[in-house]
């Protein structure tokens, strides 16, 4: 029998406080000595980078996912996330500290379990916690004494203690006595070369002080800095606040974009000048709408929660309304530009550059480009697209393949619409080769527009 199992048996013979102390001390020792095995559930944009960071730190990690194709590809050293190179996967595999599996019974082998599953919205814009609930039920089936469970999925304050904890306690084990529960919000910024998983400070909140201390010990093993907070609800609120801050400020500049156009003022020039102020101003950029896995939905999570407390989040709702209307604004502006050329949207050949929600990633979740493409398709436009990160698009009833970016394609299109400003594209050549360019990202800033018709939105 291992030392750990002997300690657990010894603890089970003691009173409640003794059990907790021995389990905590044993787990703390394993975490601090890097002997702990970590399980990561959900090998997507959050979970896979976590696995890599943990393995690179010298600890063992088991990645778990219900998608068998991910498991097969990882075993082959392949990456299914565009901004994570395959050599990262191969190097992690070579360390023998990482393995991926769909066998959730292996959760019994791990000391800490990190839950990184989606938290989308329903069709009625209400929180969909089905992935958190089903994952919690799976964990409960294999939960053993002495384990630390950390939820990383973005959600409304109260989810960890009010939703996940009761599910885990159906195992017969008691939170704070037999197992430890914490929340630490993911802070991934896919495709950002300046901040890797291990470099981004980690906010950590525990369901009790013991859980918080253990979660801090876990993350200190592979994260540069941890920020302990008083509770799981506070940690959940931190993540919601970060993304509401961005959503509200993006809504502000999106509305200013519309206002200043009516006044003949360039919003981009205004922002460039305003950001020279060394204090009291932070630049946010307008665009065709919000996208990604966090900013469009996180404000809705808090708004929904506050409805149960009989409070209306008016400021947040207004920001959501403004940002949600941006794809329609883009299409209406395009319609006006085509009308000036005596061309209707119906039947026009429109070439979209970029379908991902942000530059240099292949993530199309909630991408405004999808909304714009759908609106244009419904209006009868002939649309095609180029995106080096999204070779195939199957979203919202659209089924298309990225086409090669050629002069022939650009000249044959009635309008080229820049929806994602990926690096490495020759914007000067694109502008010179297009009949008309509608730039929603200011990607063409700095080019020579002589002889080109470029409209920056």
* Helix (H/G/I), strand (E/B), else coil: 378: helix
Q: Looking at the predicted structure, is the pLDDT value of residue 2 above 70?
A: no
Q: Based on the residue annotation, tell me whether 16 is a catalytic residue of this protein.
A: no
Q: Looking at the predicted structure, is the pLDDT value of residue 317 above 70?
A: yes
- Among 51, 116, 294, 415, which one carries the catalytic annotation? 294
Q: Confidence class of residue 90 from pLDDT cuts 50, 70 and 90?
A: very high
Q: Residue 181: which of 141, 163, 208, 203 has the closest Cα? A: 208
Averaged over 431-452, what is the pLDDT?
95
Supply the angle between the helices 16-32 and 3-12 in degrees, to the nearest 10: 160
Q: Looking at the predicted structure, is the pLDDT value of residue 115 above 70?
A: yes
Over the chain, what is the mean pLDDT?
A: 94
Averaged over 14-24, what is the pLDDT?
70
pLDDT in the model for residue 144: 96
pLDDT in the model for residue 14: 47
pLDDT in the model for residue 391: 96
Q: Residue 292: which of 257, 252, 323 has the closest Cα? A: 323
| % of the chain with per-residue pLDDT over 70 | 96
Q: Confidence class of residue 401 from pLDDT cuts 50, 70 and 90?
A: very high
- pLDDT for 200-226, tens place per residue? 999 999 999 999 999 999 999 999 999
Write out the H or E segment, with its range, that includes residue 385.
strand 382-386
Q: Residue 357: which of 297, 444, 445, 429 has the closest Cα? A: 297
pLDDT in the model for residue 155: 96
Specify the DSSP class assigned to residue 107: G
- pLDDT for 281-312, tens place per residue? 999 999 999 998 888 889 999 999 999 899 99
User: Which ranges constitute the DSSP H helices of 265-324?
Assistant: 267-274, 298-307, 314-324
């Amino acid at each position: 029998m291992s030392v750990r199992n002997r300690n657990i048996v010894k603890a089970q013979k003691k009173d409640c406080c003794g059990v907790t102390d021995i389990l905590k001390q044993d787990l703390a020792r394993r975490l601090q000595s890097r002997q702990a095995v970590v399980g990561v559930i959900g090998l997507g944009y959050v979970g896979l980078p976590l696995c890599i960071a943990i393995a690179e730190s010298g600890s063992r990690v088991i990645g778990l996912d219900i998608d068998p194709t991910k498991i097969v590809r990882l075993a082959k050293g392949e990456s299914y996330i565009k901004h994570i190179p395959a050599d990262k996967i191969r190097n992690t595999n070579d360390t023998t500290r990482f393995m991926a599996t769909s066998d959730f019974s292996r959760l019994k082998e791990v000391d800490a379990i990190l839950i990184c599953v989606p938290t989308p919205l329903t069709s009625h814009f209400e929180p969909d916690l089905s992935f958190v609930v089903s994952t919690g039920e799976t964990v409960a089936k294999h939960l053993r004494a002495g384990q630390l469970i950390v939820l990383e999925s973005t959600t409304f304050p109260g989810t960890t203690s009010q939703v996940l904890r009761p599910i885990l306690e159906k195992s017969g084990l008691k939170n704070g006595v037999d197992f430890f529960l914490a929340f630490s919000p993911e802070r991934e910024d896919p495709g950002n070369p300046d901040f890797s998983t291990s470099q981004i400070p980690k906010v950590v909140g525990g369901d009790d002080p013991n859980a918080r201390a253990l979660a801090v010990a876990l993350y200190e093993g592979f994260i540069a800095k941890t920020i302990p907070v008083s509770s799981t609800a506070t940690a959940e609120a931190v993540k919601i606040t970060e993304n509401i801050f961005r959503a509200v400020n993006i809504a502000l500049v999106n509305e200013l974009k519309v206002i200043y156009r009516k006044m003949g003022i360039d919003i981009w020039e205004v922002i460039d000048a305003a950001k020279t102020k060394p204090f009291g101003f932070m630049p946010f950029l307008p665009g065709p709408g919000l996208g990604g896995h966090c900013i469009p939905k996180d404000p809705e999570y808090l708004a929904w929660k506050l409805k149960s407390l009989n409070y209306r989040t008016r400021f947040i709702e207004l920001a959501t309304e403004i940002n949600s209307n941006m794809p329609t604004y883009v299409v209406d502006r395009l319609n006006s530009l085509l009308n000036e050329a005596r061309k209707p949207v119906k039947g026009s050949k429109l070439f979209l550059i970029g379908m991902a929600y942000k530059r240099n990633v292949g993530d199309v979740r909630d991408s405004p480009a999808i909304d714009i493409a759908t609106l244009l398709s419904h209006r009868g436009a002939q649309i095609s697209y180029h995106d080096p990160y999204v070779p195939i698009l199957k979203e919202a009833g659209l089924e298309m393949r990225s086409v090669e970016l050629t002069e022939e394609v650009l000249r044959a299109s009635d309008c080229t619409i820049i929806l994602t400003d990926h690096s490495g594209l020759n914007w000067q050549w694109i502008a010179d080769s297009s009949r008309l360019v509608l730039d929603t990202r200011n990607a063409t800033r700095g080019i020579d527009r002589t002889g080109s018709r470029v409209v920056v939105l």
